Structure 1
Amino acid sequence: MKQKAWAMERDGEQGKEVLLLVTLEAEENTPRAPVAVNLLIDRSASMRGAPLVAAVDAAQSLVAQAGPRDYIGLLAFDGVPEQLLPVRAMEPDAKTELSERLSSLETGSGTALHEAVELGSSSLHRVLIPGARRKLLLLTDGEPSVGPAALADFKTLGAKVAESGVTLHALGLGRHYIPEMLEALSSPSGTGFAHADDAEALPTTVAGMVTELFGEVASDARVHVLPSGFSELRCRHRYSTRLEGDAMSVLLGAVSQACLRRALFSGRVAATEWHFSLTASYLENGDTRRPSIPVVLVTPDSVQGRRVTAVNVELDLVASEGAAWKSLSRRDVEAAGRALAQAEASLRELVRLGVEDVPARRHLERLADLRLAVERRVAELPALVVRRAKAEGARTSVSQVMRLPAFPKKKVEH
């Protein structure tokens, strides 16, 4: 595992401040850990036809990539969740049966989302697979109609799943699922959630998630920061954090060959001299590692300094974008316009910085849609656009930086 940290001092609104960017990234060719995945597929009535076909095809890609050391189970849910196949090793006969059960799925009625996640998680805990990473992969296109439906219930469930050692990955399809519920379920695991506009986009989106699932090399990654010379320290990403005396501990979750993990901190300087004592901890190859991370001081105009700035600007962008959509939902077009202007200013700054692994282009389409909505003073928001924006915001806020084929990460010389 490669651990890097860069600190950059700059003038802030309330005096000197320091931005600290910590990055964890898997070494190339590091052996991945086996996974135990329970696949949760929504088969409610709204999935009838092309959506279910696309979901099954996408799930088949997960089965195809699984090796004999990997375990996969299948749970389908409509108004009642049903564990159709237990979590078991993907040997040839088991892969064949799983593939056949996927192909035979039929839709029902109702959406018992909360119970499906509960049952899927408990099924993972019924089998001990030494060394395997336990995961849920949830695919849904609708809101819950059976069982608990309050956002608070899903926040509690998401935290419970993560605390049990299970990582939850979620994907929302189309315009009817509730993004806040998927974020509540997935954020405690440090994954955010993904979005697919329609059945045609689903296989590509799932392919990226499958790459992430099968690329994990370390789990339970955490960064410990002990600052000195600061009046306050904040974690700008929305990871699960806890305070340990005068230190902050931030849970980043899993580190995969498919994506790197970042955590950005901002601190207000209160003394002439300041520094950070920084360590990481994670589980790799069955052993807990606790390396110290040296902090390199960089200037704003350096390659590393521009990267720190770009991560900070991107977080500003998605926060402003989210604020604009919320203002539109309240029909406060003036506030939405102000938030949009802030988001577009952040976008221009990302373009100016030109940092390859913080690309501005992935925000262009969403902000163009947002501007169109503001200019037309839209009362009924385009559901797909809002969900796409919220998914991007959820994943950016936990820095799930995926290496998608459309935007391959190039090697940057330091």
Structure 2
Amino acid sequence: MGQIVEYIKMALYSILSNKGRSFLTMLGIIIGISSVITVVSIGSGVKSEVMATTEEKSVSVSVDTEVLTNPMIMTDDDILAVKSGLGKRTTGVVATSQGMGTTTTNKGSFDAYLTFATPDAQYDPNMEEMYSGTYFTEDDMANASPVAVIDRESALYVFGNTDVLGMDLDITMENRIVTVRIIGIRDVTDEVIAANKEVNQMFGMEMPISLEMPYTGTELWGEPVNNYSTLSIYLAEGENANGVAKAAMQILAARHVSDGDDIFKKDQGLDLTSYMGTMLDTVTAFIAFVAGISLLVGGIGVMNIMLVSVTERTREIGIRKSLGATTRSIVAQFLFESAIISGIGGIIGILSGAGIAKLISVLNIGGLSSKLSPGAIIIATAFSCGVGIIFGIYPARKAAKLSPIEALRQ
């Protein structure tokens, strides 16, 4: 232990004796480490934001059509059973279907995109909350009431304002006209409205209006409801999509034992969260690798300066060896010096890299955010010390191999 302390003292004395040269030697390590830390921190921050944005908020469970030829076997009681069984793991369980129709107002004729849904659709995490009015109820479902919820963008598009509660729309679909009363308006942010308007103008498209109606509303156009084949489950915060889907399938399977085994499946949509996470990890790793090349340059700089140091201290090495210093102690002396130079450079690089990443985040440069990665810090620290040891081996061995007589003669 005493020898190690002595080696550290000697290394620090040598570094402090040549402050300018030592700092320039560290500079390559500092730049390399700070570049890696900055890139990894920004990459982690961007990944966290993207993952939060693309995180799965719902999961769908459906009847496997490869097992059952008639998939319409789920009922309202199944929806209640799944909702009750999942409890606080879900914010809503919904069945939906879609239809396309047309409507005509004083402003002209418009395509209408209809979503027929059960009442829990009002809790859709991918949609905005109600702007005004109310959502349709279980009674509206039971009575197949001709009521609808329109979104704010569609209301502005069709009527020019949002004072449309209680107004009627004649919807033509399947060669049948049904008068539908608007009872609620779903909110849409001004940013989305402006973006959609810009896209429509760019491509010369006419936007269809969007309406949500009770699932049983299909009966108004002569399409009776024959149960459901798919349920969408809205996930409570922090819940895992696979776990919730598995629990829902177990509940449904227990209620449909007579229909066969393994008749339910989780719909496999594009797992955007995992895809984006993997892609960002790959990009960050590649950029960090490119930035890490400067560490190699820094390591070569350490080796060059240590070789100069060996040349300058040839007489000192000769005296030490003539007084009985072993080859091992000479190697250790120079290895400690190169490792300490790289270690100090690594610490400065970590602090500067973290500071740069935080500054970019605070100043919101390019809309980037940062998140310091403990793993990156540990790896960077180990790497910087490793650079000092690896690139210090050759100079250390060269010093240790010097003959005492030759060293003293020089």
TM-score range, shorter-chain basis? under 0.3
Which structure: greater strand fraction? 1
Q: Looking at CA atoms only, which structure, 1 or 2, has the larger radius of gyration?
A: 2
Q: Which has the higher contact order (CA 8 A, sep 6+)?
A: 2
TM-score, normalized by length of structure 2?
0.22
Which structure: greater helix fraction? 2
TM-score, normalized by length of structure 1?
0.22
